[in-house]
Structures are given as structure tokens and as C-alpha cells.
Amino acid sequence: MKKSHIVLLVLVAAAVTIIVSMFGDFSTYETFASAAQDQGKQYHVIGELAKGKSMEYDPLKDPNHFSFFVQDKSGKVNQVVFKGAKPTDIEKSEQIVMTGYMQGEVFHCSKIQMKCPSKYENDQVAVANQG
């Protein structure tokens, strides 16, 4: 084997190792119960806005405090505190993906991503035929 082939194989192996180490921390969606087992560790929790539960946001009092309730995929309803402004149209979202940690019985999130229903879901396409 040529020295150039050996060097090339070593470089490819190093590149693969770097890529795997960079992307090795893929996270999955967790529940509030699994996040509560390891207090303070960052988790991604997915759920739906708990209907009928209160939302607290008073921009005059504290514009960076939004508190609401989410039901996770296992059915557990938990209070969530977001240190930021209330996201627009959070009530219309189908699912909410939150990045944060549990502290006691409250999930403190630093990021909220809303998955909203498609605006094209109920639209009908009209087809016209020219005669």
C-alpha cells in the first residue's frame, strides 16, 4: 500500500471521528417524568397546551415571564415557565417543543418551538376545465 493511501485513510478516519463526536449528542423528546429524574439537566419535551388551564403573562409586571401548562405525550400535565415574551398564537399550536430543565415540579424552558397546523390543510383546490 502506498504512503498516500495510508495518509488518506487516517484523514478519513479522523474526519469520521470528528463528525461522530460533534453529532453524538442527539437528543430525543422526553416526558416531564423523565426530566424530573435528572433535575437541572437539559431536555427536549414535546406536548400540547393544556386546555382549560391558566396562562400567566403580564408584560407590565414582567415582560420576560410567561407561565402556562402543557400535557406531555404520556398524559402528564405540568407547569412550564418561559423566561421570555409570550409567543404569538401559542393557543393555536398543535404541539409545543420546549428545551429546558426541571426544577422541583416546574419545567423551566429556554426555547419554545410551536408546531402549528398547516394553513393549507382545509383548503380545497378548485379545478376548472376549459370547454
Q: Is the dihedral of CA 40, 44, 50, 53 positive or negative?
A: positive
In a domain, 93, yes or no: yes
Q: Which of 109, 88, 96, 116 is nearest to 47 (CA)?
A: 96
CATH number at residue 98: 2.40.50.140
Split into its structural domains, the chain has a count of 1
Cβ pair 107, 101 in contact under 8 A: yes
pTM of the model: 0.68
In a domain, 74, yes or no: yes
Exposed, middle or buried, 46 (CB in 10 Å: 0-12/13-18/19+)? Answer: middle
Q: For residue 87, give its domain range.
A: 29-115
pLDDT tens string 55-93: 999 999 999 999 999 999 999 999 999 999 999 888 888
Q: Output the average pLDDT for the chain.
A: 84
In a domain, 12, yes or no: no
